[in-house]
Amino acid sequence: MIIVTAQKRQQTLIDVAQSVSVLTSDTLENQSVNTIADFLNAVPSLQLVQSTPGQGRIILRGVNTGGVASTVAVYIDETPFGSSSGLANGAELAGDFDTFDLSRIEVLRGPQGTLYGASSLGGLVKYVTNAPDATKFAGRARANVEFTDGGAMSYQGNAMINIPLSETLAFRASGSYRKQGGFIDSIGTAGSDLQKNINDFQSYGVRASLQWTPDTTLKVRASALIQDIKVDAPTRVEVDPVTLQPLYGGLTQAQYVPSFSNVRYRLYNLLIEKDLGAATITSSTSYGEQLQRRRDDQTVWINNVVSVLGPVFGLPPLDGDVYQAQITNNKKWTQEVRLASNGGGMLDWLVGGYYTHEKALIDQQILAVEPGTLTLQPYLAEFGGIGSANQPSKYEEYAGFANATLHFGEHVDLDFGGRYSHNSQNTSQTGGGVLGAPDPLSGSSSDNVFTYSVAPKYKFSDHASLYARVARGYRPGGPNTIPPGAPSNVPLTFGPDRVTSYEVGFKGETADRTFGIDAAVYRIDWTDIQLYGVVNNYGVNINGSTARVNGAEVTATLRPVRGFVTAINAAYTDAVLTGDTDPQALGAVDGDRLPFSPKYTVSMSADYDWDIGNDVVASIGGTIRSVGEQTGPYDPAYLATVGRFARIPAYEQVDLRASIDFGRYNLQAYVKNLTNARGVTAILNPTSSGLANYPNDAGAVGIIRPRTIGLSVTAGF
């Protein structure tokens, strides 16, 4: 029986009247799951757009058109992670947390605006950590090494310790270090560098928690998460922009200036739960920081800009390389207080209040350097340099919410809830140089939003239920920084967008758990979609068009004999625009598919374990994931050149695994991407305002990691 906290109270999975996938700690260990990309095969309708580790866009049920604000919320226990606004690149900076010593990962599909608030249009990914245990001393460690086809060696180490400090106080901590070798080379294309395996990265951090339970009615838990992800070049391969096939005979990119992305997570939470008898009051106080420092090679694009604008504005020729330095910083306080009934009657209820205050900053500079070095050039110094922009912003939100379940006898329940919230935002921008805005800019906005959910459920038994759900979700609007005198069709603000989801689902399993199924069909109507585009040469967030998503999902698990488990996860996602967008800003029209939303995804896995004597257990298993054809990002320059948006080919990925468990020790071997598939995970625009970003007018894509063979050993006590 799987217990989840999807509705902010403990429930069995069958009792939750919405579509939820749960990845247990055993699944995470057995399938060598380290990042979001590793568990895509276990969650129907989940996609990740990513070309740089630590920098990715999560998509659930096809709810995506690009843009800068997230459509999927991320939580660590009771702590919301990432920006709630569209002013801190929250969509592209989804948390990518280490999974060692997690209790489980819960993925809630469909809008979650009632209990989880803003930016949960498509759903929620919730990481649930293991709490300290005052009843026993325990520890565990794991080490592994990996070998990637055509790349450098990778290695990883993890450790956990749980220490009872008294009968009522316990401490738990886990640490991780991962070094992943690169597999993409810079081969000197058009005068670029000569260097192998440039896309390596490191990820390291620690989670720690102290829990005090002086009696059965009170629990106090203080938690901290610290993690850094340091990436060299992105996992970007230069390709033919039409076929998306790699150029130059292999996995290569042109590097003139070494790129990097350093992401830092800092999350702190104080959780207090007090049982008052008829109800339990919960207070969750959180503080989080997300900081990214990055350097992006812009040599080809800026040289093309100079070649076009130079004769017009009298700019001197550029003899050197160029990069963009960027800082993206988000600091966020949240406070949530809930009072929930302890059950036992006809009505279970929950009421609460929520407050968040976040400050963000995006700071950008475009700098010229001497060829082959990082020595700065004084290029265009008389004009203030090539360009710079500094944009601080603030987001504040107040919300009240309530949720209840009415029990009409043993079989019929009605879940319903609502949330009212008010948010306000303000931002300013200063810039300089040839490409920067010459005057200080500012903007502000505010929204008042009500969201709701209603979900009747019929429970046939403790092992089967049928439910329907109607739910509303929203994403906050915000201000644009527009200079005085801009054309009237350039919007000063953009409003919230909303989804309404209609879902019917069935969850069931046999009494002996030899077979289980979780299936749902749904429709999502999306209105006032937030889009990022160019209007009269101003890059702005706008509202426009509508979309609908019709879909179906199924997860089926079969355990026909002891030790053998097979599962299938399948999703059908028909996600299309139902209105035209601004032809200048994006160019997408009624009937175009939403980006990075394959119509079909299917994964199948099978695992078998058996005793080989003396309490030793062996196991073998494998997974195959098939991802259908996808549409790339809405790019008007690409559309004008090719006559359509980019088409991402379908692909299949095969993973194999085997292990021997000696009780305290476990040895595991695995192969990821056995067939060396080159699945595309992102498309980086080949042009910017019609000017090439990469040599020889190439395009660029993110790809999955080539075939990787791994060995790991785990020891526990």
Q: Say whether pLDDT at 689 is over 60.
A: no
| Percent of the residues in the chain that have a pLDDT greater than 70, as a whole number | 98
Read off the pLDDT of each residue in 170-184 and give the average, rounded to a whole number.
97
Read off the pLDDT of each residue in 133-147 and give the average, rounded to a whole number.
97
Report the largest interatomic distance among the alpha carbons of the chain, rounded to a whole angstrom. Answer: 82
CB 649 within 8 A of CB 632: no
Tokens at residue 676, please? 């060396």
Distance CA 81, CA 358 (A): 11
Read off the pLDDT of each residue in 133-156 and give the average, rounded to a whole number.
97
Read off the pLDDT of each residue in 133-149 and give the average, rounded to a whole number.
97
| Percent of the residues in the chain that have a pLDDT greater than 90, as a whole number | 77
CA 99 to centroid of chain Cα atoms: 14
Beta-sheet pairing, 72-76 with 123-129: parallel
Read off the pLDDT of each residue in 158-176 and give the average, rounded to a whole number.
97
Q: Is 102 helix (H, G, I), strand (E, B) or coil?
A: strand
Read off the pLDDT of each residue in 252-278 and give the average, rounded to a whole number.
96
CA 177 to centroid of chain Cα atoms: 21
CB 415 within 8 A of CB 15: no
Residue 687: per-residue pLDDT: 61
Higher-confidence position of 316 and 212: 212
Q: What is the DSSP string of 673-703?
A: STT----EEEEE-SEETTEESSGGG-EEEEE
CATH architecture of 3-716: Beta Barrel (2.40)
CB 63 within 8 A of CB 499: yes
Residue 133: per-residue pLDDT: 97
Q: Say whether pLDDT at 536 is over 70.
A: no
Q: Give the list of residues 6+ apart from residue 605 with CB closer than 8 angstroms, or none.
A: 31, 41, 42, 566, 567, 568, 621, 622, 623, 624
Q: Say whether pLDDT at 604 is over 80.
A: yes
Q: Say whether pLDDT at 142 is over 60.
A: yes
CB 651 within 8 A of CB 676: no
Distance CA 410, CA 403 (A): 20
Query: Which CA distances in Å does 517 have to 21, 211, 283, 569, 683?
Result: 12, 36, 36, 10, 35
pLDDT, tens digit, 9 for 90 and up, residues 37-51: 999 999 999 999 999
Query: Which CA distances in Å does 32 have to 155, 370, 559?
Result: 13, 44, 22
CA 696 to centroid of chain Cα atoms: 32
Q: Say whether pLDDT at 149 is over 70.
A: yes
In this structure, what DSSP letter does residue 233 have?
A: S
Main-chain phi, psi angles of 42, to 5 degrees? -100, 0
Query: Which CA distances in Å does 636 have to 250, 683, 691?
Result: 29, 14, 12
Q: Is 450 helix (H, G, I), strand (E, B) or coil?
A: strand
Burial 600-634 (b: 16+ CB within 10 A, else e): ebbbbbebebeeeeeeebebebbbbbbbbebbbbb
Q: Say whether pLDDT at 538 is over 80.
A: no
Q: Say whether pLDDT at 364 is over 90.
A: yes
Residue 402: per-residue pLDDT: 96
Handedness of CA 636, 638, 643, 644 (dihedral sign): negative
CB 49 within 8 A of CB 631: no
Read off the pLDDT of each residue in 343-369 and give the average, rounded to a whole number.
94
Q: Which of 555, 553, 558 is nearest to 608 (CA)?
A: 558
